Amino acid sequence: MQPLNLTEAEIRQRTWMELERAAQDRHHEWRTPVLATVGKDGTPNARTVVLRGADARLQILQFYTDCRSPKIDELAHEPAAMLVFWSKHLNWQLRVRVTMEIQTTGPQVDAIWEQLSQSSAAGDYLSMDAPGEALAVGLAASSAAPGMRHLAILAAHVQEIDWLELRRAGHRRAAFGTNTWQWRVP
């Protein structure tokens, strides 16, 4: 059961503690948030992503994707995005406003690929077909292309977290950033 009246500092600390746990625990409810972006045509797009890293000190959340995914073009065009996390266990919703940075090369991408390449997830970044491409009727997706990896790291720089706690004693809501805090009407 959640303590009823967490302070501002406790909410901030618990939020980041849970995000860091979710990046490590595949069963944590915040492991798979929804990422909303703005399409190049101006329409909204949303999809589930997997949280791979969280750093409270740097205020960064990390995700992996195929560099040919439509979200890469969307984020290159408009790096502002929103992540939505829900935890039934905590009765907390987070709406996290972020600015995305896309990394497709460099030592960090190489290090992550070294880890991923030894796992079953490697196939997600080796397909000859790009995510979302149409398949010919009756055909399965093509197999992996040897040596061709399509890994991109999305570093989500947190601008603001809109925290909502649902509880019988009365809902609470606040918006906070690195050095800001504002209580809001739920």
Q: Report the alpha-carbon distance of residue 151 to residue 148 in Å, rounded.
A: 9
Within 8 A by CB and 6+ apart from 57, the residues are none
Tens digit of pLDDT for each residue in 60-112? 999 999 999 999 999 999 999 999 999 999 999 999 999 999 999 999 999 99
Instruction: Round to whole Å and give the CA distance between 99 and 156.
Output: 6
Domain borders along the chain are: 8-129+146-184
pTM above threshold 0.75: yes
Residue pair 23/52 in contact by the 8 Å Cβ criterion: yes
Cβ proximity of 156 and 62 under 8 Å: yes
Measured CA angle at 171 (ends 167, 173), to 5 deg: 130
Domain 8-129+146-184 in CATH 2.30.110.10? The answer is yes
How do residues 34-72 score in pLDDT, each as one tens digit?
999 999 999 999 999 999 999 999 999 999 999 999 999
